[in-house]
Chain A
Amino acid sequence: MIEVSRLWKSYGPVDALRGIDLKIEKGEFLTVFGPNGAGKSTLLKILSTIIKPTSGKVNIDGIDISSANEDARKRIGVISHKAFLYGNLSAKENLLFFGRLYDVPDLEKRIEELLAEVGLAHRANDMVRTFSRGMLQRLTIARAIIHNPAIILLDEPYTGLDQHAARMLTNLLKKLHTEDKTIVMTTHDITNGLEISDRIVIQILGKIVFEDRSSNQTVESFERVYFEKVGEGK
């Protein structure tokens, strides 16, 4: 479970987050919508321990991440629109590197399984620089879940994907959701975001301004709410 309380992040005079409170239950899929500059990526960077908040607290499974970063990081997998993969290493070498960083047991077998799962088994020994955007994103998922994290954080994962690759990503996320992973995703993609998540929030100017169950919303009704809230925020 992730508990965020009164989270505040300032970059000099700019307040990126202004007192965020969130509770994400174990196995829940939360999608954060919001316009550019709303502080969504900042929120995920704090949850993933990349940056420290100016004030406020984040607890992951009862661990305060400000005091136990290394322990918290073992429980987290991050997928961004950037791959965090090395172009001059093969898909397998990249996964071997990250797997060893996380001390994944029986790593060779785990890599074989993951590459098969993301449909890249036939490209295991190819250099990552030769991969298409969609393939890169699938390998990114394999990289992020290689250590079987309980929490998966996704920052705009649909950026730059064509429809086919986006559908594949949605299906992979649905599968991860059934494996009882706690998932937090930021996106501009209302259709996919609503389809796969349990709960949705809208973040504007560093604050959560709307929260609901995804099942209560259709794409049309949510778009109305979204544009209304974004309009209010300006």
Chain B
Amino acid sequence: MGYYFKKVFLIAAKDLRIEFRSKEKIYSMMLFSLLVMVIFNFAFEPGAEYIKDVAPGILWVAFIFAASLGLSRSFVLEKEEDCMQGLMLSPLDRSGIYLGKVIGNFIFAMVIELISLPFFAVFFNLSLTSALPPLMIVIVLATFGFITVGTLFSALSVGIRGGDMILPLLLFPMQVPVIISAVKSTGLIMAGSGIDTYSQWLKLLIAFDIIFFVASFVIFEYLIEE
């Protein structure tokens, strides 16, 4: 088992090294996330009464679209020079390739989200200090759910023409439970409500994460075979 996870982390570390070196993905994701916040900042008056109602939506539009930008590039890296075949030839179970990719994509998305969050608080004049611990739980759960399915669909769409266009078309309908749960629970947390008011949304996120992670983990091997 240790052998398996060593290889999984090797793949994740390789992806992170390549992406942090080229910085193409991190810049485009970061820019997109900040741009969304800046544009909404012009549209809505910071500090206005209604801002707490619209802020959760703005936050998740920025996070989800930035993450999907990163996902679309995830397997492009493996397509160049047919590196995917190099990974498939290694003595690692193919589920390990999926897991390595999920870890890499998850870390990437989390980095972008953690950098964006303070900007979000400043742009919309929100104090997130007390809301931060529960908000982080929601961010981690929703990002993981988005990445597990997104990584699978990214592998699916990279081999086909117009894959960049097909990825969001496949991904977003599947992500409706994650997006609704994330937006609703973020709104309740920002409004200062107790955990009992948004616990059902957290349960939905946890259930989605477990079900779709296991399903994607099992399906991946069949998906990448020619």
Contacts and interface: CB of A to CB of B under 8 A. Distances in A.
Interface string A80-108: 10111111110001000110111100000
A87 B226 CA distance: 24
A86 B226 contact: no
A80 B85 contact: yes
A88 B225 CA distance: 26
A82 B79 CA distance: 10
Contact of B226 (A50, A73, A74, A97): A50
Nearest to B3: A103
22 contacts: A50-B89, A50-B225, A52-B225, A70-B91, A70-B92, A78-B85, A80-B85, A82-B82, A83-B81, A84-B81, A84-B85, A85-B81, A85-B86, A86-B81, A93-B17, A97-B10, A100-B7, A101-B7, A101-B10, A101-B90, A102-B90, A143-B86
B82 A80 contact: yes
A92 B165 CA distance: 36
Contacts of A74: 91
A84 B82 contact: yes
Contacts of A70: 91-93
The B contact surface, by secondary structure, is helix
B83 A101 contact: no
Contacts of B226: 45, 50-51
A201 interface: no
Given A51-B226, A101-B7, A85 B90 contact: no
B14 A86 contact: yes
A45 B93 CA distance: 17
Contact of B89 (A78, A86, A87, A88): A78
B22 A98 contact: no
B219 interface: no
Interface in B1-33: 3, 6-7, 10, 14, 17-18, 21-22
A82 B89 CA distance: 14
A221 to B, nearest CB: 35
Contact of A86 (B18, B88, B90): B18
A223 to B, nearest CB: 31
Contacts of B196: none
A100 B10 contact: yes
A51 B224 CA distance: 10
B38 interface: no
Given A70-B91, A98-B86, A88 B81 contact: no
Nearest to B94: A69
B35 to A, nearest CB: 26
B162 to A, nearest CB: 22
A183 B14 CA distance: 30
Contacts of A101: 7, 10, 87, 90-92
B77 interface: yes
B96 to A, nearest CB: 10
A59 interface: no
Interface in B93-127: 93
A39 B91 CA distance: 25
B80 interface: yes
B83 A85 contact: yes
Contacts of B90: 73, 98, 101-102
A48 interface: yes
A89 B14 contact: yes
Nearest to B78: A86
A78 B18 CA distance: 23
A86 B226 CA distance: 21
A48 B89 contact: yes
A49 B86 CA distance: 12
Chain A CB count within 10 A is highest, among B82, B88, B91, B226, for: B91
Nearest to A42: B226
A71 interface: yes
A71 B90 CA distance: 10
A111 B132 CA distance: 47
B82 A88 contact: no
A76 B14 contact: no
